[in-house]
Structure 1
Amino acid sequence: MKFISLLYSEKDIDISEIKVIEDDLGIEFPEEMIYFYLQHNGGVPEFVDGLFGSDGGNWIALALFFSMKTLKSNYLSFIEQKWFPKKYVPFATDQGGNQICFNIITGEIVIIYLDIEFTVEEAIDFLAVDFRGFINSLEEE
């Protein structure tokens, strides 16, 4: 998996802390995502212009990877909202505040647009088949 340099990461997290969060949320994180979080507990891409990944036509300006603590609280907050599908766990955000998520069933990475008036299905765009594919697809501007 490609190395991504992040600034402002929170305190390092270990595997036992990740497992507690998995148990608390009743989910399993993809193996590649666990590996990533053991290296970086969230943070901002080092490159001034950010990192970009394609969603099949549009370019997504990645702004921030959430820390594990923030990931947990965001997921719990979003699933309280009846419209947000429980199968998507937000782990990052783009510069517009849209949520980049992994699907707990398939492992696919999607973006959920929050600032437009679509049905839930229309607000979800596919980004990558898995976390590794997402990270490897990111490019400097």
Structure 2
Amino acid sequence: MKLGIEKLESDLGVQLPEAMKGHYLKFNGGMPVLDWFPMGGDRESIWVHEFLPIGTQDVSMPNIQSIYARVAGKGGYPRTFVPFATDPGGNLFCVDADSGAVHYWLTDTYDETLTDLENRQKADRRLTDSFDQFISSLVSENDAFG
């Protein structure tokens, strides 16, 4: 898996945060047990449906590389944002390879009448300052809504 991470970084031209690399050395994708991100305040928690794998043998299965190839540099989506998980609606959880922050990207907000910057402002929600902080923030459904 270490070679897979190095290849991913090379292919995307980014350096992933160490915490994310460590997570992927243990779990290459999958559905987390603690699968809700609490937004706080009056905003609804977000369901982390699935972590994307790094590469797969099955070309029909989404992975980090295939999702990145589809969205990077389009509609304001920054090339430094590496998607690593999805919600059930296809929105993306991404790590910013430059800052290490985790963002939530709404995929259904694109408006062709807006500039890339305006589309980014509409679609991007910064969640945490780091991948570690994101992982440690995840809670069960009962804790998210109880």
Identical columns (%)? 32
SS at match of 2:48: strand
Report the secondary structure of 1:77's partner residue. helix
Contact 2:86 2:92 in 1 (8 A): yes
Larger % of helix: which?
A: 2
Are the equivalent residues in 2 in contact too, given 1:65–1:92 (CA < 8 A)? yes
The Cα shift of 1:44 comes to: 1.3
**In the aligned structure 1, how far is the partner of 2:103 from the partner of 2:38?**
11
- CA-based RMSD: 1.7
Output aligned runs, 1:58-69, within 5 Å: 58-69=44-55
TM-score normalised according to structure 1 size: 0.80
- CA distance in structure 1 between the partners assigned to 2:7 and 2:107 by the alignment: 29
Which runs of at least 4 in structure 1 moved beyond 4 Å after TM superposition? none
Tell me which structure has the larger Cα radius of gyration: 2
Q: 2:2 aligns with which of 15, 18, 23?
A: 15
Q: Is the 8 A contact 1:55 1:126 kept in 2?
A: no
The answer (yes or no) to whether the contact 2:76–2:120 under 8 Å persists in 1 is: yes
Q: 1:132 maps to what in 2?
A: 132
- Higher mean displacement: 110-119 or 27-36: 110-119
- Matched residue count: 125
